[in-house]
Structure 1
C-alpha cells in the first residue's frame, strides 16, 4: 500500500515541477522566485546549455522542450501511460542535466536536482501498481 502513495507522490512532484518550470517561462511566477521570468530568457538559457546546436534551431528546441514538458506533466497527472511518460520524462531530464553538465558544469545539474528528478522519473516507471490513474480504470474494464 505504501508504494501506491510513493507512486502518486512521484507523479505529482514530477508533473508539477514541469508545469512550474513552464509557468516560469511565461512569466507566471513573481520576479523574486523566477528563474527565467519570460520566454526570451528561457530561449537564451536553452542556447547557453546547447552551444553545439545551430543558433537558428534554438527557439524550436526551446519550444519542443516546453511542449514535451506540458504533455508529460498532463499525462503523469492523469496517470495515462504512466510507465511510458515516466521513462520519457527521465530521458528528457537526463538530456537537460547532461546538457547543463557539458556546457556550464556538472555542479549545475546537481544544484538544480535535475539528475535527481531524472532518477525519480525512471524510478516511477518501475512502479507497476495502479493508483488514481486513468490506466487503472482501463485495466478494470
Structure 2
C-alpha cells in the first residue's frame, strides 16, 4: 500500500513537474512571442517615423527650393525693371542734353548774327559819318 502510495505520489510529482515545465515553457514562448511582437511593432513604428521624416524633409527641401526660385525670379524682374528705368532715365537725360545743346547753339548763332549785324551797322554808320565829315 505504501509503495503504491509512494509510487502515485512520485507519478503525481512527476506529472506536476511536467505540467509546470510545460507551463513554464508555454509562458516563456508567450513571453518571447510578446517581445518579438513588441519589437516588430517598434521596428515598424521606427520605419514609419523615418519615412515620415524623410517625406517631411523632402517636402521642406522642395518648399525651400520653390521659395528660392521665386525669390530669384523676383530679383531678376526687379533688376530688369531697374535697368529699364535707368535706361529710360539715361535716354531722357541725353535727349534733354541734346535739346539744351541745340538751344544753346541756336542762341549763340543768333547772338553772333546779332553781333555781326550790330558791327555792320556800326561800321556802316562810321563810314557814313566819315563820308559826311569829309564832304
Fold agreement, TM-score > 0.5: no
Larger RCO: Structure 1 or Structure 2 (Cα < 8 Å, ≥ 6 residues apart)?
A: 1
TM bucket (normalised to shorter chain) is under 0.3
If the length of structure 2 is used for normalisation, what is the TM-score? 0.21
| Higher gyration radius (CA) | 2
